[in-house]
Structure 1
Amino acid sequence: MTTLDPQVSKLLAALSETPPVPPWEVPIATFRSAGERLTALAGAPNTRCDMQDFGIRLPGRLLQARHYRPQGATGSLAGVVYFHGGGFVRGSLDSHDRLCRELSVRGGFAVVAVAYRLAPEHVFPHAHDDAIEAFRWVAEHADELTLERDALAVAGDSAGALLAASTAVGLRERAGGPQARAQGLLCPVLDVTLANESVARNADAPFLPRPVLEWCIEQYFPDPRDRQSAGASPSMRPSLAGAPPAVIISAEIDPVSDDARQFAARLEDAGVSSELHEFPGMPHSFFLMAGVLDHGERAILTFAEKLSALLR
């Protein structure tokens, strides 16, 4: 494994007094609570942002959502529908609140964060369905949300990035419906077969070692046959032609780093603009630790600025 950035090594040393317990050894509620406690690493929330919670009513369920706008912004704004990471099993509106605030303020756009259904209570394709239907709902209610209907992107991190990419590609297959103008992917998991070499190369990487990644995928995809389907992984699609342009942030020391490289290359091969930024010495989801990692702050700023440019 490549050398970790000194700030990451320092953080790991500080966290070593309370090493994480493998998720298969604790109740799912305990694993989720442990994830929420990591929000302290994100830094102080940006107060130059207005926020409002609301619900997205879909057939048979109500998804909780949170609407962010730069403080004082008037009129309709470009918007980003955002899906949090957490391996399909944890993560929430609160765990990604600081990130969404920063993206909104730094990018000058609105963010609609959506809390999709989690595994193991809800398995594939429930989260996929929630993502694409939530995007369509936001597009249909753009006027109520003071959003520019034709300037909507879809974004997410880790497992949420898989949902974002699946939504971006899936919308293209539904003629006549709303489309994503851009897609933003942070440390994306894009191949749930775990076939890429980085899974082995970074098997012991901090924050997402291979055993935890495998366990998370098994919770959402209990049937191995589903993991082979194009509907599960965007990278399994036979063609990415017509997908919206992408900005992708990845970490060098991450079992899914090759997912980002491969997807960016496939988009380019399909004639789709793709901009990949890989941060050296960084682990998975380092941007969620921007309060203690300088590269995390830089990644958020880069992501917000590049996504804003794609929307304009």
Structure 2
Amino acid sequence: MSSLHPQVQQLVAALATKPPAAPWEVSITAYREAGERLAVLAGLPDDGCAVTELAIPVRRGSVNARHYRPPGESVGPAVVYLHGGGFVRGSLDSHDRLCRALCMRGGLGVVSVAYRLAPENQFPAAHNDAFDALRWVSQHAGELMIDPTALAVAGDSSGGALAAATALATRSVGPPLKAQGLLCPALDATMSSGSVDRYHAGPLLTREGLAWSYDQYVPDAGDRRSAQVSPLFEETLAAAPPAIIISAQIDPVADDARRYAEALATAGVAVKAREYAGMPHSFMLLAGVLEDGEHALTAFANDLAELVKSGRAGPGPCAS
């Protein structure tokens, strides 16, 4: 743990006074409730945006969503956001502060989607909900005051996997996207990245925890090798939307992000990638206690907004 940033070391020490139970040691309900309690570490929300609750029809019923709009009455660019949580937990509330930051700092409309969770809903439920929600937002852009030609999809952790898979799917069936934004994305369900072993003990995400999450959502080992579940296995990334990728160094899925950025660049896709030294998985959700988390939120919002508005990702992979 010597490579952890000092602020992360302090956080880990504080959490160690009452360590959370492993997800397999408690009920799914208790695990989800524990995740919601972590939202306090995200910091104070920005109340400047207008917020509306939505119900979005999908191919099997409907999902709840939350629409954030920056001040003003003009039509503007927007991002469909897919929260993380290992496909098992996470909600509109757990990611409220992050979505507000995207909205206010990037000047973006944000539609946060509460896709169906595992283990009650296994693959491809969340993937279908993510794509259906994006398509609905595109089709109802006018009433949402969204420019349908300036749309992006984004997400963190498992939500990053959903965002990447959704972005790839739009190449053949639309709607057209200007960008994809990925925060600490988990992009290889076979867990073959070297970082899975290098940082197997976490903190905040362990190899065991990652494996457990995949077991809940994708129990079939064959499905895990599909490009839909593991975008890193896509044969060609050509014509994928330009990407903004932010990752953490001390993270089992750190190499997923690095490999994907390199693969996108090789395929001729514009990509801007930042890895934050000494940071753990999903550190941007801890912006209330980690300065780099706050920095990452602002950088992500600004870079994603610039990309959606211009269609260019700027320079290739870089480190931070």
Please give the range of the TM-score, normalised by the shorter of the 2 chains: over 0.9
Over 3 Å off, 4+ runs:
none
Whichever residue aligns with residue 57 of structure 1, its letter is P
Pairs within 5 Å for 1:226-237 = 226-237=223-234
Q: Percent identity?
A: 55
Partners in 2 of 1:213 and 1:2 — Cα distance?
Answer: 22
CA-CA distance at 1:59 after TM superposition: 2.9
Deviations 1:143-162 (A, max 9, x none): 01000000000000000000
Q: Deviations over 1:173-192 (max 9, x none)?
A: 22xx3111100000000111
CA drift at 1:262: 0.3
Secondary structure (helix, strand or coil) at the match of 1:66 reads strand
* Residue equivalent to 2:61: 61
Rounded to whole Å, the distance in 2 between the matches of 1:187 and 1:44 is 22
Residue 125, structure 1, aligned to residue 147, structure 2:
no
Alignment map for 1:12-91 (pairs within 5 Å): 12-70=12-70, 72-91=71-90
Distance in 2, matches of 1:2 and 1:258, equals 19
**Cα distance in 2, alignment partners of residues 2 and 256 from structure 1:** 19
- Alignment match of 1:218 (pick from 215, 220, 237): 215
What is the match of residue 273 of structure 1? 270
- Structure 1 gap ranges (5+): none
Instruction: Answer yes or no: is the 8 Å Cα contact 1:252–1:279 preserved in 2.
Output: yes
| 8 Å Cα contact 1:2-1:253 kept in structure 2 | no
How far, CA to CA, are the matches of 1:290 and 1:164 in structure 2? Answer: 22
Aligned residue number for residue 108 of structure 1: 107
| Structure 1 residue 2: Cα displacement | 5.6
1:249-278: CA deviations, max 9, x gaps?
000000000000000000000000011100
| Partner Cα distance (1:219, 1:60) in 2 | 20
1:256 corresponds to: 253
**Candidates 281, 284, 298, aligned match of 1:287:** 284
Provide Cα deviations, 1:72-126, integer angstroms capped at 9, x if missing partner: 2221110000000000000000000000001100000100000001000010111
Whether contact under 8 Å (1:199, 1:210) holds in the other structure is yes
Q: Is the 8 A contact 1:156 1:164 kept in 2?
A: yes
Checking the alignment, whether the CA contact within 8 Å between 2:165 and 2:227 is kept in structure 1 is: no
Task: For structure 2, list consecutive stretches of 5 or more residues without a partner in the other structure.
Answer: 310-320
**TM-score, with normalisation over the residues of structure 2?**
0.95
1:247 and 2:250 aligned: no
Alignment map for 1:94-105 (pairs within 5 Å): 94-105=93-104
RMSD: 0.8
Asked if structure 1 preserves the Cα contact closer than 8 Å seen for 2:238 and 2:268, the reply is yes
SS, match of residue 184 in structure 1:
strand
| Alignment-derived partner of residue 169 in structure 2 | 170
**Pairs within 5 Å for 1:153-232:** 153-174=152-173, 177-232=174-229
CA drift of 1:228 comes to 1.2
Shift of the alpha carbon at 1:60?
A: 2.7
- The answer (yes or no) to whether the contact 1:290–1:297 under 8 Å persists in 2 is yes
